[in-house]
Structure 1
Amino acid sequence: MDKATLKDIEDIRAQLVSLCNRDTISIQLEAQGKLLRPCVAHACAKAIAPELLNDDPLWFAILAVQSVHEASLLHDDIIDEAETRRGKPTLVAKAGIPTALVMGDHLLTASYHLLSQCDNIALFSCFSRAVEQTVVGEIKQARSADKEITIQQYMDMITDKTGALFGFAMGIPALLQRREDADEWIALGEWLGRLYQMLDDILDYCPQAGTGKPPFQDYIQHKPTWPWLLQETPNWQASTKELHTQWFGQQAHAQRCLDFFEEECDAFQRQCKEKLGDTHTHFVALV
């Protein structure tokens, strides 16, 4: 990641922290969060509506999408009984389920309060749909446990589970300006969200990825993800040791996964270039 992008991230973090410190907003964000969704919204604003960067509504919407994302992480940790995230103890591990549940609910409800201050019905409606889609995606994932779903079913699931909030984030500038092409920006953001989830899913099969999470957790919990679905004979009976041997002892499967992911990334970059021209590099840097 180049210096300009890193500076943008720190500027975004500082802006959100400043917003959180206002008397009317009682949100405390995760200090080490990657801020991917805020970065998407910020990059889109820089590309198509830089004048919004000095306006409160953009930052209220950006803080809202980060807030609801962090709420979803807290609820994920409760469901998964996760003890660590990004290499550090989760709130569930430190304070217990009741505290984590209430904090997640607080972040979720606060996000709607933030959006209400933007005075934009289309923006609020899109946000509500994105939150609902995220929950639907989680339900689909829970129902898919122990099953061998199709790649298309997996793509539909992650479009809801992860793509929806990315879509909203990329659509924020267009929605604030009431542009007719807002749906196109939302669709592009959903695509970026799918790529991010695909990357996250393949890193689960890479013990040396340095994600701060134990490897093979999706497999252990019988969550069907695309690297597992692309196997010639997917099954839940193999030990993690056997799975490791298959991944790193048989290069054909690893190469098949790499090719599949690169094709998706290339298609996204082409779409970005078509939509954004020379400014598409703002988003390519996020892939």
Structure 2
Amino acid sequence: MATVAELLQPVENDLETLLSDLRSLIGAGHPILQAAAEHLFSAGGKRIRPGIVLLLSRALSPDGELSSRHRRLAEITEMIHTASLVHDDVVDEASTRRGVDTVHSRFNNRLAVLAGDFLFAQASWHLANLDDLAVVKLLSRVIMDLADGEVRQGLYRYDTGQSFETYLDKSYCKTASLIANSAKASGVLSGLGNDRLEDLYRFGRQLGLAFQVVDDILDFTGSDQQLGKPAASDLATGYLTAPVLYALEERPALAGLIERELCEPDDLSQALALVRGCEAIPRSRALAEGFAREAGEALQWLNPSDSRTALLSLPEFVLSRLY
């Protein structure tokens, strides 16, 4: 299976440009915020989200060229994503991300919150300057969704009574909304009609949900090294994901462990054994496969191009992380 870098190859140069532009866009601010931003944009990262915007923009362009507004949309997408990561890391008290110190562990919590705010504010400013109300609405919705998802995640900790719908809504807010709405926004800037805009939105939504479910499965099946964080850390924190919700249907004993917040020494390992010992992981895998298939179906109408080929390989790539 192709790597991310290979998949994003048609927009490799665009992503290089994007990173240097981001550094200069953000570099004008306060020296410490600048240091935080520099650190963030050089911290590796796969750049899948801006990559999708750039691939779609090229795939939709009659001559395959990128307009400056499409480039700016990709930059705004990456700013919003990065801002949300900074805040997530503070909330989750994570000390590293992708093997690099998080902003709050390099500086402090207060500064990390401010750096995240600063990036959200920068993104909003550049968004407004695109002078397209439809695009402003789509991406400001994302900023609302990200906050909403983070709050919901906190509210439903250790709550074994939550519905599957609750989990999917939270996953949409935290992961899929940005991909779905920025994909749709690239279509708005390309002048597409409503039906096609809905297809772009659907592609991003289903791809984002597949991505999240795969992440949630890897929390139970991946190694610490593969995950970049301790395995089963979601469950340990009380975040109940697809594998846990499926396991609760099959293994009622799991509910008791979770409701007492896994406080006894053996609770976490018992809970893990219950999740791994039933159909929860295969069912979650089938769920992710369904989302990935729907994402691919949503873009079949694109004209042949390298960008289209890359986009249609993304759902398969997301699933390949499981094998």
TM over 0.5: yes
Alignment map for 1:143-162 (pairs within 5 Å): 143-148=155-160, 149-162=162-175
Moved more, 146-155 or 234-243: 234-243
Task: Identify the match of residue 168 of structure 1 among 142, 159, 181.
Answer: 181
Counterpart amino acid of residue 227 in structure 1: P
What is the Cα deviation at residue 92 of structure 1? 1.3
What is the aligned partner in structure 2 of residue 20 from structure 1?
22
Tell me the TM-score normalised to structure 1 length: 0.88
Alignment map for 1:123-272 (pairs within 5 Å): 123-148=135-160, 149-181=162-194, 182-208=197-223, 210-231=226-247, 232-233=250-251, 234-235=254-255, 236=258, 237=262, 239-248=267-276, 250=277, 252-272=279-299
Distance in 1, matches of 2:273 and 2:15, equals 41
Tell me the C-alpha RMSD between the 2 structures.
2.5
CA contact (8 A) 1:78 1:92 kept: yes
Distance in 2, matches of 1:219 and 1:21, equals 36
CA contact (8 A) 1:204 1:216 kept: yes
CA contact (8 A) 2:214 2:285 kept: no
Moved more, 34-43 or 1-10: 1-10
- SS of the aligned residue for 2:41 comes to coil
- SS of the aligned residue for 1:272 comes to coil
What is the aligned partner in structure 1 of residue 313 from structure 2?
285
Q: Does 1:75 align with 2:90?
A: no
Q: Does 1:30 align with 2:56?
A: no
Counterpart amino acid of residue 13 in structure 1: L
Distance in 2, matches of 1:25 and 1:177, equals 29
Counterpart amino acid of residue 197 in structure 1: Q
Aligned residues: 285
- SS of the aligned residue for 1:276 comes to coil
Counterpart amino acid of residue 271 in structure 1: A
- SS of the aligned residue for 1:210 comes to helix
Moved more, 258-267 or 191-200: 258-267
CA contact (8 A) 2:203 2:294 kept: no
Distance 1:46 1:89, change over 3 A: same
Moved more, 176-185 or 100-109: 176-185
| Percentage of pairs with the same residue | 23
Distance 1:197 1:191, change over 3 A: same
Moved more, 275-284 or 251-260: 275-284
CA contact (8 A) 1:47 1:282 kept: no
For structure 2, list consecutive stretches of 5 or more residues without a partner in the other structure.
29-36, 316-323
What is the Cα deviation at residue 74 of structure 1? 0.6
- The list of structure 1 runs, each at least 4 consecutive aligned residues, that deviate by more than 6 angstroms after superposition, is none
Distance 1:205 1:12, change over 3 A: farther
CA contact (8 A) 2:57 2:66 kept: no
